[in-house]
Structure 1
Amino acid sequence: CNEACWRIDKVPHRCRLEVSKGQCGVRTGKYFFNLISMTCEKFISGECPNNKNSFPDKDTCMAYCAPKKSPSFCYSPKDGGECSGNVTRYYFNPRHKACEAFTYTGCGGNDNNFDNIEDCTRVCLKAVKKEKNEK
């Protein structure tokens, strides 16, 4: 997801930064946006300056960082690739508004290609639900 997620322009730059754990002073729990899981996760940090991918609570983090719309690659067609492998992967089917299994050959294809259904759902389906709820 790293390469694909860096191209998701709906995720603010601040939320695409690696987690930065300050090591001095009182250590407290904060939240950062994880591009791989596409959700906010807790980490322990000191009082030293962190980078901007640091939020006081999960709700603030998700409100700021979580994509409001599905990334455009979620609407790319299923593409099995160009090699001879046989690997089960998952893609978002916009017609069914669901993540579905497909056979990936191991090379080529497009970014609508996830290792597991959880990642597909997190990246593509949750944003679709948000779009519907905001109308």
Structure 2
Amino acid sequence: MSSWSYRWKENCNTCRCLHGEVACTRELCQPTPTPRGTLPEICHLPAVKPDTELCAGFEARWTFNVKTEKCEPVVYGGCGGTENLFTNEQECLMTCGNQQQESNKVSDGDPRERCFMPIVPGPCFGQLIRYAFFTERNRCEKFYFGGCQGNQNNFVTFEECRSMCGGSLPPLDDSKDIKVEA
């Protein structure tokens, strides 16, 4: 394998409607040399092969980002995936590690600092149900995560959020969706 890897351009999402569903891709930059440390070769691959046609799936996956040196959530279209596409964060961390920090820690301080971060739905178009700690309401609540560029105040389950952040229980009527400004 060559010593080149592809890096995604920032803010290059292109989306179109296919059979009533929005499908998004990201445009690739020119290949750039990437230093190869002790990471396995697959951690340097893009999540999706560069010449893959647009696919209409919306699957929540994880990939290792060489630029940020962290495992990050992605929305996978369903085809053209590489070995650097994992079904969950733990699988990504076990393979590629997290070169900057443990996934639950914001800094060397209290890991619960993540509970006080703003709720960030991200710019992508996934509709992943997640839970975040709303400091104004002192509780964990549901929100829709787009699948990319969120922060650590983003939990897969209510129980995970409440275990980390505490707070009061949500109202019994969970039918109201929480709207979060992007």
Q: Normalised by the size of structure 1, how large is the TM-score? A: 0.44
The structure with the greater share of residues assigned to helix is: 1
Greater RCO, CA 8 A, separation 6+: 1
The structure with the greater share of residues assigned to strand is: 2
